Amino acid sequence: MTTEEAQRRTSGVSATTATSTGEFGIANPARSTAWAGAVQAGARVLPEHARSHNRALVLQALFRAEGLSRADLAREVGLTRVTISDLISDLINENLVIELGVRTDSRPGKPATMLDINRNGFVVVGLDLSFNSRFRGAVTNLDGTVLHREELDVTGVTGTEAVEATALILERLVAAATAPILGVGVGSPGIVDATGTVLSAPNLGWKDLPLQQILSMRAQLPVQVANDANIAALAERTFGGGGADMMLVRAGRGVGSGLIVGGQQVYGSGSAAGEIGHVMVGTDGGDTCVCGKSGCLETWLAIPRIEARLANATTEAEREAILREAGERLGIATAPIVGALNLGEVVLSGPSELIDGPLIAAAADTLRDRTMAEFVGDLSVRMTTLGRDIIVLGAVVMVLTGQLGVY
Amino acid sequence: MTTEEAQRRTSGVSATTATSTGEFGIANPARSTAWAGAVQAGARVLPEHARSHNRALVLQALFRAEGLSRADLAREVGLTRVTISDLISDLINENLVIELGVRTDSRPGKPATMLDINRNGFVVVGLDLSFNSRFRGAVTNLDGTVLHREELDVTGVTGTEAVEATALILERLVAAATAPILGVGVGSPGIVDATGTVLSAPNLGWKDLPLQQILSMRAQLPVQVANDANIAALAERTFGGGGADMMLVRAGRGVGSGLIVGGQQVYGSGSAAGEIGHVMVGTDGGDTCVCGKSGCLETWLAIPRIEARLANATTEAEREAILREAGERLGIATAPIVGALNLGEVVLSGPSELIDGPLIAAAADTLRDRTMAEFVGDLSVRMTTLGRDIIVLGAVVMVLTGQLGVY
DNA sequence: TTTGTTAGTAAAGGTCACTAACAAACAAAA
DNA sequence: TTTTGTTTGTTAGTGACCTTTACTAACAAA
């Protein structure tokens, strides 16, 4: 049997994904069950792929609406009760699904046995490398509920040292896990390709760093690495009520974004989708940017820049004008994107004391003024509700998608 | 058996898709074999879906590279020779694939039997409703080679009359078909939803018009309707060598665009993706637009506007400046889109005597100036090579995708 | 108690792609 | 010329998968 065939024969997620003893080194390698992987152009479909797709559908349905019976699932997914029973039997054996007992409400017919994803039977480890001077991480259950946190100061740490720091915080999180670890998700700044290689992350001094491979080898766990803003968009989509056509803009030290188009994450031709920080805004100049150009979105919207301007503001009106201008510039930059993609939502993530107020209001006004009302009539511009944990939650979504096919 | 079950049982494209006698009214109803349809969220996958997906893969491989044997296909697609033989047997029975005879070159082993899609065994009807005063249409083979053309003057024709005109030109094209018609593709201006309903097309006086349904009933053929610029993007992707992350901008009476992201067409939250004509460009005003705003992309790039400006130009330098300015504005408007989506290509479609020259050069320069070179380094900005037939070719792609799953 | 409904399971059947094995047809080496 | 090895395409049989059909269990309502 060839390697490829062996892989093809492997389906499902083994229930023994990782030991919960906390050893940093015992678990199964990364592997994808997701249907998405099989749908790529040129990929044939075998019966077993159909099975894992249907299996993912069942998990998705259970994930979204707890308290479903086998019969409910059959109606929801469109398969027969027989097939659902068979799939559920597998999932129960793998400890991914549990029976909650019989339905209590009074209805004719045999009472249903309620099912749910075993939300506490596995945990996910999420890492957020996007902060300037500290790495953050958390252990969560499958709902994204944080069970344990770790932080690590990394001021001035770059290159290999930064990799070691990442491995260290991961090790601590793995040790803190109280249930088998389904997988590890990492949100990194910079450009990250589909294989989890950090092509470029200037702040961390990383270039062509195969972070996913490194961490996966070290932890012996399935690891997935993606850009922080992209991962935030995933989180908003799954946990924040984000729609199928959505943009998440993240303002921090720089400005980045993640895009969901047609329900799918956008990666871009060079894995650099969402990088809007250095797109010039308007035709009337602006401050000089670190990149050499003038009037980049970052010069208007990066938090340090806003804070510097606000430091000179003496009155509340001045303060508001500064924030409104930042919002306007965001609106100017995103209007063509919103129009071209016919987005339904623009979600902002960042320090709410700065963003949630005049800034976001001005962005919404500007967006509406500069696009065609007929097309963007029901555009929603809002803050994320996920707060500072958004990257960690995105990591959960990545792992759920990668390991279970849930999204 | 329920309707849904009956549909589920129906797979493949019957070889008797339509009579070639030219009667306007004898054929089978629209039906989708495409895998894409089955991959939607919440859609279960049955073995037969797997089969039609694999079938589509075989057709795709044959479509792209003629002169493949069964064994070649097995290697290409990843299925076994046995399975390929079985699929090919079906396809030959349906007259979609033909044997070309044995391979002539001298190699060890049994000589292979060459296969090809029966490119002239079926025809496709394409309709282009995007011109101001005339409807254009063509009958093509499966390669997109035009076999017959029809035109119809529709100056001042709107509403129901325009629908009748569409039906008339379609009837003529169907009558001219010399082989069974695989399907009909229609490129319409305005907003068209996924069901082929024209939600809004002011120029034609259409609003919530179920054009696909109307034409499908009239012609008794599978009909697919989509926005003209979107369909043009499809054509560029399949016949024009367009990449997986691409934008096609169409300048005509107005300005529209079509987007391909991650190899997939973008539809948008309100089916209005690509509508960039009324996005404001820059922060320095501009001419008043019919929409009421100032400085919309259309005021810079719509062909009538450019022509009006050129009429006042006396020197070649003035003429070039006007064209360069139009290109610059296009670059300003598309820079955020190119950056956010990390597009690899921007393709222009329209009158080449105006677009292909200073305009496109200025657009390329502006795009590069206003984005981050690191991210858009290998961005290609160019004219389409498909000329005026681009909409008709897009119709072919729609039909191939919808009826055969080829894309 | 009877009737009707709903949940879940068991057995049998059809579809699909796979493996194994083989004949046909050729080139190249012996 | 014969033998060997390669490649193509087919036949036969197998296992995976989901369906249909039919059943039991468990309940509400008449």
Is strand D in 7 Å reach of the CB of A108? Answer: yes
CB A115, CB A68: distance < 8 Å: yes
pLDDT in tens, A278-312: 999 988 888 999 888 899 999 999 999 999 999 99
User: HSE of B173 in the Cβ direction (CA atoms, 13 Å)?
Assistant: 36
Task: Please indicate whether residue B296 or residue B17 has the higher confidence score (pLDDT).
Answer: B296
Token pair, residue B59, equals 């057709």
**What distances in angstroms separate CA A406 from CA A79, A192, B151, B318, one per listed residue?**
18, 22, 50, 58
Which pLDDT does position B335 carry in this prediction? 96
Tell me: pLDDT of A316 over 70: yes
Mean pLDDT, residues B204-219 = 97
Is strand D in 7 Å reach of the CB of B47? Answer: yes
Put simply, whether A292 touches B (Cβ < 8 Å) is no
User: HSE of A315 in the Cβ direction (CA atoms, 13 Å)?
Assistant: 3
CA of B240 to C1' of D6 (A): 39
pLDDT in tens, B247-305: 999 999 999 999 999 999 999 999 999 999 999 998 888 899 988 889 999 999 999 99
Say what angle helices B211-219 and B159-176 make with each other, to 10 degrees: 40
Bases along strand C below 7 A from a protein CB: 4-11, 14-21, 23-28
Question: Nearest 5°: CA angle at B229, between B227 and B230?
Answer: 65
What stretch of H or E contains A52? helix A47-64
Put simply, whether A53 touches B (Cβ < 8 Å) is yes
Contact B270 A344 (CB under 8 A): yes
DSSP string, B280-348: B-SSS---B-TTS-BSBHHHHH-HHHHHHHHHT--SHHHHHHHHHHHHHHHHHHHHHHHHHHT-SEEEE
Give the nearest nucleotide to B108, CA to C1'.
C27
Q: Whose CA is closest to B149, among B163, B135, B162, B161?
A: B135
Q: Whose CA is closest to B222, among B64, B50, B33?
A: B33
pLDDT in tens, A192-203: 999 999 999 998
Query: What CATH number does domain A123-233+390-402 carry, 3.90.550.10, 2.40.50.100, 3.40.30.10, 3.30.420.40?
Result: 3.30.420.40
Q: Please name the amino acid found at residue B39.
A: V
Is strand D in 7 Å reach of the CB of B43? Answer: no
CB B170, CB B125: distance < 8 Å: yes
DSSP string, A82-142: HHHHHHHHHHHHTTSEEEEEE--S--SSSPPEEEEE-TTTSEEEEEE--SSSEEEEEEE-T
Token pair, residue B406, equals 């080829």
**What distances in angstroms separate CA A225 from CA A191, A212, A214, one per listed residue?**
11, 6, 11
The alpha carbon of A376 is separated from its chain's Cα centroid by a whole number of angstroms, namely 25
Put simply, whether B334 touches A (Cβ < 8 Å) is yes
Which pLDDT does position A397 carry in this prediction? 95
Record: fold of B11-18+43-118: Arc Repressor Mutant, subunit A (1.10.10)
In angstroms, the CA A73 to CA A95 distance is 18
In angstroms, the CA B298 to CA B79 distance is 50
pLDDT in tens, B52-90: 999 999 999 998 887 899 999 999 999 999 999 999 999
pLDDT band at A25 (very low <50, low <70, confident <90, very high): very low
What is the residue whose two structure tokens read 């707890």?
A: A66
Which pLDDT does position B21 carry in this prediction? 31
Bases along strand D below 7 A from a protein CB: 5-13, 15-22, 25-29
Token pair, residue A151, equals 């932080």
Task: Please indicate whether residue A126 or residue A36 has the higher confidence score (pLDDT).
Answer: A126
Mean pLDDT, residues A388-392 = 93
Tell me: pLDDT of A12 over 70: no
User: HSE of A21 in the Cβ direction (CA atoms, 13 Å)?
Assistant: 7
- Spans of all domains in chain B: 11-18+43-118, 123-233+390-402, 241-384
Contact B275 A337 (CB under 8 A): no
Residues 6+ apart with CB under 8 A from A371: A335, A338, A339, A379, B278, B279, B280
Tell me: pLDDT of A376 over 80: no
The full 3-state SS of B10-77, as one line of letters, equals: CCCCCCCCECCCCCCCCECCCCCCCHHHHCCCCCCCCHHHHHHHHHHHHHHHHHHCCCEEHHHHHHHH
Token pair, residue B124, equals 């496709």
Which pLDDT does position B104 carry in this prediction? 79
| Residue of least CA–C1' distance to C16 | B47
Contact A269 B343 (CB under 8 A): yes
Which pLDDT does position B102 carry in this prediction? 85
Q: Please name the amino acid found at residue A162.
A: A
CA of B154 to C1' of D16 (A): 58
Which pLDDT does position A372 carry in this prediction? 87
Mean pLDDT, residues A102-113 = 81
pLDDT in tens, A226-264: 999 999 999 999 999 999 999 999 999 999 999 999 999
In angstroms, the CA A209 to CA A213 distance is 9
pLDDT in tens, A134-144: 999 999 999 99
Contact A342 B274 (CB under 8 A): yes
Mean pLDDT, residues B335-357 = 96
pLDDT band at A102 (very low <50, low <70, confident <90, very high): confident
In angstroms, the CA B65 to CA B44 distance is 32
Tell me: pLDDT of B206 over 70: yes
Put simply, whether A79 touches B (Cβ < 8 Å) is yes
Which pLDDT does position A330 carry in this prediction? 97
Burial of A40 (0-12, 13-18, 19+ CB in 10 A): exposed
Q: Whose CA is closest to B279, among B215, B336, B360, B230?
A: B336
SS3 label, residue B372: coil
Which pLDDT does position B35 carry in this prediction? 27
Which pLDDT does position B406 carry in this prediction? 83
Is strand D in 7 Å reach of the CB of B109? Answer: yes
Q: Give the closest of B41, B53, B266 to A341, CB-based.
A: B266
Mean pLDDT, residues A76-97 = 91
Tell me: pLDDT of A373 over 50: yes
Q: What percent of chain B has pLDDT over 90?
A: 75
DSSP string, A259-312: EEETTEE---TTS-TT--TTSB-SSS--PBPTTS-BSBHHHHH-HHHHHHHHHT
CA dihedral sign, ordered B317, B320, B322, B328 = negative
Tell me: pLDDT of A180 over 50: yes
Tell me: pLDDT of A20 over 80: no
pLDDT band at A40 (very low <50, low <70, confident <90, very high): very low
Which pLDDT does position B315 carry in this prediction? 94
Put simply, whether A47 touches B (Cβ < 8 Å) is yes
Tell me: pLDDT of B2 over 70: no
Domain B241-384 in CATH 3.30.420.40: yes
* Chain A residues in contact with B298 (beta carbon < 8 A): none
Q: Produce one character per residue of A145-175: b if its CB has 16 or more CB atoms within 10 Å, e if not.
A: eeebebeeebeebeeeebbebbbebbbbbbe
SS3 label, residue B365: helix
User: What dotted CATH number matches A32-118?
Assistant: 1.10.10.10
**What distances in angstroms separate CA A332 from CA A81, A117, A281, one per listed residue?**
52, 44, 7
CA of B382 to C1' of C14 (A): 53
Domains A123-233+390-402 and A243-384 fall in the same CATH topology: yes
Contact B243 A280 (CB under 8 A): no
Within A 57-96, residues with CB less than 7 Å from strand C: 69-72, 81-82, 85
Interface mutation vs chain B, best among A342, A376, A406, most B CBs within 10 Å: A342
pLDDT band at B103 (very low <50, low <70, confident <90, very high): confident
What is the residue whose two structure tokens read 């590069």?
A: B368
Tell me: pLDDT of A399 over 60: yes
In angstroms, the CA B304 to CA A57 distance is 51
Mean pLDDT, residues A6-20 = 34
Token pair, residue B325, equals 């300015």
Lowest mean pLDDT: which of A168-172, A389-393, B32-36, B223-227? B32-36
Contact B274 A340 (CB under 8 A): yes
Q: Give the closest of B244, B340, B377 to A274, CB-based.
A: B340
What stretch of H or E contains A326? helix A316-341
User: What dotted CATH number matches A243-384?
Assistant: 3.30.420.40
In angstroms, the CA A341 to CA B269 distance is 8
Is strand C in 7 Å reach of the CB of B83? Answer: yes
| Residue of least CA–C1' distance to C10 | A82
The B223-227 sheet, strands edge to edge: B146-153, B134-140, B123-128, B181-188, B223-227
Mean pLDDT, chain A, rounded, equals: 87
**Residues within 8 A of B (CB atoms), A 88-127 only:** none
Q: H helices within B210-286, ranges in order?
A: 211-219, 228-239
Q: Give the closest of B267, B339, B374 to A279, CB-based.
A: B339
Interface mutation vs chain A, best among B45, B275, B329, most A CBs within 10 Å: B45
